[in-house]
Structure 1
């Protein structure tokens, strides 16, 4: 059995009402979630200025952007399981202290290499935060309904932070230097360090075996090359795609070795036996492929706003905010929906709404159609992110909640990376096919066409830009169609999987593992 030290009698167990202390703890746990989401998106606006100040090359800019995500994706599996073993509060506070210290280093980085190293270390620290916060929520809110509401609030903070991150960055960059984007994290993490020992329970699984270091190495060796390869596919030229493809293949092979090892260990790093539960497997699949559709759509829409409609980066961030805010609204609606329908029905209905929301992106142009599309698309995913995440962390005994949370987060990262790579490649292919009459860089990218138009007489420049804008808009339409198909198929998958119980062999001891969709 696990060891729990709540330190307070208002623990929400067996349906007992959650008290003020528990909701204050939830507010504290929401802070790192909100901050990390803001930090990820805020960097996009800060990147041009910090690159200019530090003299970063194109490759260095790419690593400044991606080092954080790479390390989070690589370490989140290990950190989720580590928290179950050494204590979730201890891991959260350790990660918060490291995040504050490294954020200060990043803010005052004197050169690109220092900043890249700081971003990588921030990723390692960030990997401790999300699984720890989710697992601690399951410790504090044992009642299924209250836990669902708490996770919906947690997810709302995640997507609200993503929506407001660029806006906050724009405000900071108007008044301060680029390092202020990183310094925002310091007071938030200090607050967590001060209040965490008072408000948060400690939980660790004393019966768990030692962490299998071979599995840790295999998880890193599998995830890091795959995420690297997927991201590189979006920026590599046609003749440079061999390296990322080899990285993806190598990661896939090592991933297969990792999976085989987890299925044979008594105390696996990641309990893949949970996937025998068909509803749970369907939700994890939906989380991955919804990430594919949303990341790919977001990539195309943000480029469309800036490169076709001509908005500035800050204006584009504001105009793109409805996507994050709509997901946040959808997560808050989810607990209300499950009072009237089964969770599977709520999730599947939301995914059907998302499929409908993709149609304006597939059929129309201009900002009104884009705004309607991304808002409806995102609103429909809310029940999946709230109820699906609740199902994943609630499908295991409490002592393994951190491991389950890391499974959900890994799926999200891989889905987002896959979406950027695959959808980005499809959009580029559509553009190239429509611009095959052009020469040089103009035939490869919209940015190349814009640069090329600056060297042409006005009539020819106008014609080139018209063709390039039309070609990119066609790519957006194709992306909308792909996203429509993905969401429609996911809706069917979740709806049909919810009609069956768990397969034999799913660990017993947690009713929700069998009946969460019932």
Structure 2
């Protein structure tokens, strides 16, 4: 109950604060989140059989694998949400056409996932895991630095997917940093990191994109691009439709820049926390 109340309050505080600013509800829900999550952490650290064994984070390998999973989930959730809308509402692709144009990410992941364990066996887990995050960061940087059109987005998706392939060894890195008797708790924290990352990605980067969008459209314009386009079509206001589409594209570009920074920071943390001598082959035995 503490974790559910804490995470729900945190997500609400981020979303509400991004839209309404630092008002009473933002402060109140943020305080509830801080209280509930602090209480949750203290209980987990004090009990011998905690819901989540947070003491595992004392191990560098475990921490680095979890950071990689969390950072990737944050960035992926936000970009999947924004790119799907951009392709359909700005570029005019159908849902099927959008799905096909998102395939480069799956192609990159499909090619690089089998290669990650092989590379890790040759050069070590640390450069593979950290390097994968940097490759994904390069994908976000492509959207930020190059003109926003589908060819550049396809390249970005391919790089992001290729970087995600490094997560093929993230589970092994996490398990190598936990005792055998704590394997269940380690797996639970890994799975939770993906879910929390998805939530924070939509809450933080999604809210950031929404705030950037609102700053470029006239006051009173709906926050939803789809709704704004419907209103513009009804009023036959081509200028409003064009302005809303341009504002959404700009928010996608800027959010991609923040995503790139996030991946670079995560790569640095993973490099710092992963032991250089970590042997995944030995750990698996």
8 A Cα contact 2:141 2:256, kept in partner: yes
8 A Cα contact 1:223 1:255, kept in partner: yes
Provide the residue aligned with 1:451 in structure 2. Answer: 230
1:296 equivalenced with 2:78 (yes/no) = yes
CA distance in structure 1 between the partners assigned to 2:246 and 2:179 by the alignment: 53
CA distance in structure 2 between the partners assigned to 1:242 and 1:403 by the alignment: 37
Choose from 336, 357, 374 the match for 2:157: 374
8 A Cα contact 1:357 1:377, kept in partner: yes
Provide the residue aligned with 1:477 in structure 2. Answer: 253
Choose from 479, 489, 492 the match for 2:265: 489
> Which structure has more RCO (C-alpha within 8 Å, separation ≥ 6)?
2
Which protein is bigger by CA-based radius of gyration? 1
Choose from 416, 436, 448 the match for 2:198: 416
Choose from 388, 402, 412 the match for 2:184: 402
Q: Give the C-alpha shift of residue 397 in structure 1.
A: 3.1
Choose from 344, 362, 371 the match for 2:144: 362
Normalising by the residue count of structure 1, what TM-score does the alignment of the two structures yield? Answer: 0.50
Aligned alpha-carbon RMSD (Å):
2.9
8 A Cα contact 2:63 2:174, kept in partner: no
1:218 equivalenced with 2:2 (yes/no) = yes
Provide the residue aligned with 2:221 in structure 1. Answer: 441
Matches within 5 A, 1:24-423: 217-226=1-10, 229=12, 233=15, 238=20, 246-247=28-29, 249-363=31-145, 364-383=147-166, 385-423=167-205
**1:244-268 C-alpha deviation (Å, 9 max, x unpaired):** 7644542332121121122222222
Q: Give the C-alpha shift of residue 376 in structure 1.
A: 0.6
Normalising by the residue count of structure 2, what TM-score does the alignment of the two structures yield? Answer: 0.86
Structure 1 unpaired stretches of 5+: 1-216, 503-510
Q: Give the C-alpha shift of residue 349 in structure 1.
A: 1.2
Provide the residue aligned with 1:103 in structure 2. Answer: none
8 A Cα contact 1:279 1:501, kept in partner: no
CA distance in structure 2 between the partners assigned to 1:344 and 1:375 by the alignment: 22
8 A Cα contact 2:124 2:277, kept in partner: no
Q: Give the C-alpha shift of residue 407 in structure 1.
A: 0.3
Q: Which has the higher helix share?
A: 2
- How many residue pairs match? The answer is 281
SS in 1 for 2:113: helix
8 A Cα contact 2:68 2:133, kept in partner: no
